[in-house]
Each structure stands twice: as structure tokens, then as C-alpha cells.
A and B are shown apart, each in its own frame.
Chain A
Amino acid sequence: MTEQEIYDRLTPLFQDVLDNDDVVPTPELTARDVDEWDSLSHIRLVVAVEQDFGVSFAAAEIARLENVGQFVALIRSKLGA
């Protein structure tokens, strides 16, 4: 799966979890940029990605993420892509 394909798949997940149709995940995007991205939404995003992509994360992997770009890199590493 290419990086772009991951972003394309993330877009509806982000919009659904954050209840915001204007959110488009980009590499630089962080929780500070989106009002609806609170701590519970953050948890839901992680779970939505695990379920949609069929991957599992460790708490430490999630804790060190600083932006969406790093999240996408983590997803790619889990997919072996």
C-alpha cells in the first residue's frame, strides 16, 4: 500500500471519528489543529485504524507520535509496505 493510499483510506476515518467533514489528514497535521481532536477522539482514531487496517499498535508506539505523518509511517511499517 502506498503512502497516498493510506492517506486516502485515513480521510473518511478521520472525518467519521472527528465528526468533521473538512478534516483532511496531511503529514503535518496534529491534534492541536482540529478542535474535535480531544483525548477520547485520539483513542478512537487509534482503534479505528487498527480495525480498518487490521493492525495492532503498542501504547509506546502511539505515545511517541507527533503528527499524522509519523502515524502513517507507523501504519506502513505494520503493513510491511
Chain B
Amino acid sequence: MTGGADSPAWTDLAEGHEVSETFTIDDAAMAAFADLSGDRNPLHTDAAFARSRGFPDRVVYGGLILARVSRLLGMRLPGRDGLWAGVKMSFRQPLHPGEEAVLTGRVRHRSDAARLLTITLEVRCGDRLIASGSAESAWRGDA
């Protein structure tokens, strides 16, 4: 049972191995995250307020970008046999609802001794770097 999650072998996850996913955060996701988190900061919920603060539109929640990281790690990189163990992420430029973004994860370091992947993360929207950082995934599969 994988629930649709990928299940690569440890040895397939070489340094440099890369996975990308395209995503768009829509109004429904914004509303659902506001309900889920309780974060109703008007920069995320009120376009007029966001414009008054110098943004062209509402700003996508950083938490929703991290939700896409969760999906990437849990479903594909490495998928079924990895347990998300840590993340460092800087949000560098705002992403707005309806914009298409690309999340890329790349294996930066694979420790055979520690069974831990260090994964470089990057979110881009066209030429804009939206977010960058790294995550750790502890391997729980076969050696």
C-alpha cells in the first residue's frame, strides 16, 4: 500500500536527483487554510488591504507553500519511505492566488550512515524566486 506515493529505492536517490511539481493556490485553498489555521491576517484575505500595503493582490500563505513541500516529500521525494524530519524555508517574494508556481526539490546530500536525505527546495513563479530552503527526510524503508 502506497496511497499513490512513489517508493523509490534508497540507491535511486542519488545526489542531484530532482523532482518538480507545478501548482496554483486558488481561492478555495486560501479560504480552507484560513479556517484551518485561524490566520485571518488581511494581507491574505483582503485584496484591497493588501494593495494598501503595496502588494498587487492577496499574499499566499507561507503555510500553503509548506503544504506543497509536504506533498512533494510525502508523495515523491522520497515518497512512501521518507519521514519529514525538518525544514528551513525563507519566503523571498510574495506569491498571489491564481499564479502558477513550480516547486523543485533536489537531493543535496544522501547520508548512508544516517539514512537521511538533505533536500534543497526552491519555489519559482516565472522569473521570481518565491521561496528557497532545505528539508530533511529520514529514510524508513529498506536499505
Contacts and interface: CB of A to CB of B under 8 A. Distances in A.
B114 A51 contact: no
B113 A59 contact: yes
Question: How would you classify the secondary structure of chain A's contact residues: helix, strand, loop or mixed?
Answer: helix
A56 B116 CA distance: 12
Interface string B32-60: 00000000000000000000000000000
Contacts, number: 44
A61 interface: yes
Interface residues of A, number: 13
Question: How would you classify the secondary structure of chain B's contact residues: helix, strand, loop or mixed?
Answer: strand
Interface in A1-49: 40, 43-44, 46-47
Given A50-B111, A50-B113, A58-B113, A40 B138 contact: yes
Interface in A50-64: 50-51, 56-59, 61-62
Interface of A: 40, 43-44, 46-47, 50-51, 56-59, 61-62
